[in-house]
Structure 1
Amino acid sequence: MGRPMAELVLSEEERATLVRWSRRAKSSQALAQRCRIVLGCADGKTNRQVADELGIWPQTVGKWRRRFLERRMEGLVDEPRPGGPRKITDDRVEDVVVATLERSPKDATHWSRASMAAESGLSKSSVGRIWKAFGLKPHQVDTFKLSNDPQFIDKVRDVVGLYLDPPERALVLCVDEKSQIQALDRSAPVLPMMPGMPERRTHDYIRHGVTTLFAALDVVTGEIIGSIHRRHRTVEFKKFLTNLDKEIPAGLDVHLICDNYSTHKSPAVRKWLEAHPRFHMHFTPTYSSWLNQIERWFGLLTDKQIRRGTHKSLRALEKDIRNWIKTWNENPRPFAWTKSADEILERLATYLDRIPGAGH
């Protein structure tokens, strides 16, 4: 005889939703199966008949039939599972955060998970979770340098304005020199990478001299105009400017973004600029090389060509640099400048607020 089976009747909207959920590719398998159970029960089938069709236990069918009758569509969703009670109180979490921010351990300059665990009585994993929740990373440190340029604001607005709104019929170039590039060769041949083993090289090296790359980055196209010299004096910089004058079409003005290196401001360079009025110099503030996009390109050159390169002569190094520039110019990629001058100055102000006396 058994217990009487509760009748299950669906509205048209409920049936349409259940059919859609049972067939939708993004539905979880558990939810799709529950929808099929309810649809089978709504067709007048017994729990055992539905169970045999779906290959599940009759008790499972009875459970979801009952849940649907009690709560309709919401009954098909899993109920939240109760977890264990919290063992770490808010006060202990606060103690860890305050200690991390305001104190240092007695035997070190910064906290580690082990030292904070010993200090707080919590496990290392608990300390790690608290630090992650509050974005605390005691093991990391960044460096910064404040500019003392009295014209800092004006120079930031000038340079950023060239990036975001370059003048018409003009070329904006980021210019600088990468000096003291060493041609280094290892004292023994480099051992190539093998499965399960990285490339290996000796820690000592043989120097074969240094060279300097003068480079100009077109901020619109990303193309590079480069010139290599063995020294980086005013004479070499003037030669580079003359090379730019030949490379760039005569009908265009040229705006050069440079740093405050003395070579860029020497009397000989100023005299050359007076003789070439289409060239205009724009200087970044002191200690603000991050404003010059050519520095980012120099970083790519170092990472991809110079740092792990081995060169048996200075000429071989210079050849590799020229080839890398040629390869870059075959598919140049400009750097996208996104921050306005106001956003930069506002961000800087937040740093100054955190440094006692920095605003004076």
Structure 2
Amino acid sequence: MLVPNPKLVPLTLSDDERRVLEGWTRRRTTAQALALRARIVLTCAETGESNTVVAQRLNLGRQTVATWRARFLRDRLDGLSDEPRPGRPRTITDDQVEQIVVTTLESKPANATHWSTRSLATRVGMSQSAVSRIWRAFGLKPHKIDTFKISKDPLFVDKVRDVVGLYLDPPAKAVVLCVDEKTGIQALDRSAPVLPMLPGVPERQSFDYIRHGTTSLFAALEIATGQVISAVKRRHRHQEFLAFLRTIDRNVPAGLDVHVILDNLSTHKTPAVRTWLLKHPRFHLHFTPTSSSWLNLVERFFAEITVKLLRRGVHRSVTALEKDIRSWIEQWNTNPKPYVWTRTADQILESLAAYCQRINDSGH
């Protein structure tokens, strides 16, 4: 039989209090801090032991146990909630917050396409910093805009399942290649020498440039390894595409089928291409839906070479540009990194369906 500590004020729970406290310790939605306080009170009531012993049982500090025991004895269940913290009284009402949110979402200023913190603050008679804080709290960013395009391909669902199926479950004894052309790559030379980066000063280029012509990059990204088969050509007709298919044919071992994911460019579907494919039955073309280049992983590779080579590159001739492109891809292939596709076709289609529903419900 437990003997209560005579120095402690007895902590006795009613049936209702015990039921509420036990519920707080079991419910998933209960805040962790509140659940811990409930366990402290339940342990104190069940054992009658000192704050030190209860603290040891729960692996807590003695002062923590003493604080919540005293708060419960004083205010019962209400004492376990956080007390209001001292500080400046709130000056912005809920109605003012609602006004800012509604105005941001449902109206535009007379002389602009979107609100700024200053223009909205002037409109509602509040400070710019207050508007900024409310925007951050609700995730409102009127200055930003995203673009989108919904594919109208009647075979959209079938093509998504086909392409994603190749990514997630590639066929045996085959390679899967993502193929596309990056056309119109310009050989650009700056009108003045590039100034190198210095401490506190970024690299600087003149805003104007001299064009020296364009070239096109044909690339086939192997999804399993990240290796890239490439060719650089001055034109991008079906003849160049056929030549690139022959390059792929030479680089892929003869015993493997070749599954090629590519877009709906007209040069990919000419009679000459179809004739060549009939003579090379190991090649299987899988077309992405129209307006859906995001399904082709080679676009990620194009983004990589754009950021790391082309965007800030300086070239005085197309020949120099092509040499740099070949060198960069050669270096890439020494340590390739495959891009891993993770979303299933069902997840993609569900996400697009939800997005289309949002568009339909937007009132535009």
* Shorter-chain TM band: 0.7 to 0.9
Q: Deviations over 1:26-64 (max 9, x none)?
A: xxxxxxxxx6xx8xxxxxxxxxxxxxxxxxxxxxxxxx9
CA distance in 1, matches of 2:200, 2:69: 60
2:300 corresponds in structure 1 to 296
1:165 corresponds in structure 2 to 169
CA distance in 2, matches of 1:352, 1:277: 39
CA distance in 2, matches of 1:113, 1:68: 44
CA distance in 2, matches of 1:338, 1:356: 28
The match for 1:258 among 255, 262, 277 is 262
Distance 1:163 1:146, change over 3 A: same
Distance 1:355 1:79, change over 3 A: closer
CA distance in 1, matches of 2:187, 2:198: 26
CA distance in 2, matches of 1:137, 1:105: 15
1:217 corresponds in structure 2 to 221
2:245 corresponds in structure 1 to 241
2:236 corresponds in structure 1 to 232
Moved more, 87-96 or 99-108: 87-96
CA distance in 2, matches of 1:333, 1:13: 57
The match for 2:313 among 303, 309, 316 is 309
1:112 corresponds in structure 2 to 116
Shift of 1:13: 2.5
The match for 1:281 among 272, 285, 288 is 285
1:126 corresponds in structure 2 to 130
Distance 1:350 1:191, change over 3 A: same
TM-score when normalising by structure 2? 0.78
CA distance in 1, matches of 2:203, 2:51: 68
Distance 1:68 1:314, change over 3 A: closer
Identity percentage over the alignment? 61
TM-score when normalising by structure 1? 0.79
2:142 corresponds in structure 1 to 138
Unaligned segments of structure 2, at least 5 residues: 1-6, 9-48, 73-78
Residue 205 (1) aligns with residue 193 (2): no
2:53 corresponds in structure 1 to 13
Amino acid in structure 2 at the alignment position of 1:96: I
Amino acid in structure 1 at the alignment position of 2:223: V
**Structural mapping, 1:173-212, within 5 Å:** 173-212=177-216
Q: Deviations over 1:156-190 (max 9, x none)?
A: 11111111111111111000011111111111211
CA distance in 1, matches of 2:107, 2:295: 35
Distance 1:213 1:69, change over 3 A: closer
Distance 1:68 1:136, change over 3 A: closer
The match for 1:150 among 147, 150, 154 is 154
CA distance in 2, matches of 1:357, 1:198: 46
Amino acid in structure 1 at the alignment position of 2:53: E
Q: Deviations over 1:121-179 (max 9, x none)?
A: 22111111211111111010001111111111111111111111111111110000111
CA distance in 2, matches of 1:244, 1:87: 68
Q: Deviations over 1:270-313 (max 9, x none)?
A: 11100000000000111111111101110110110011011122
**Structural mapping, 1:16-165, within 5 Å:** 16=56, 70=70, 81-165=85-169
- Describe the SS at the equivalent of 2:359: coil
Shift of 1:10: 5.4
CA distance in 1, matches of 2:298, 2:234: 20
CA distance in 2, matches of 1:88, 1:71: 31
Q: Deviations over 1:190-244 (max 9, x none)?
A: 1111112111121111222111110000111111110111111111111110011
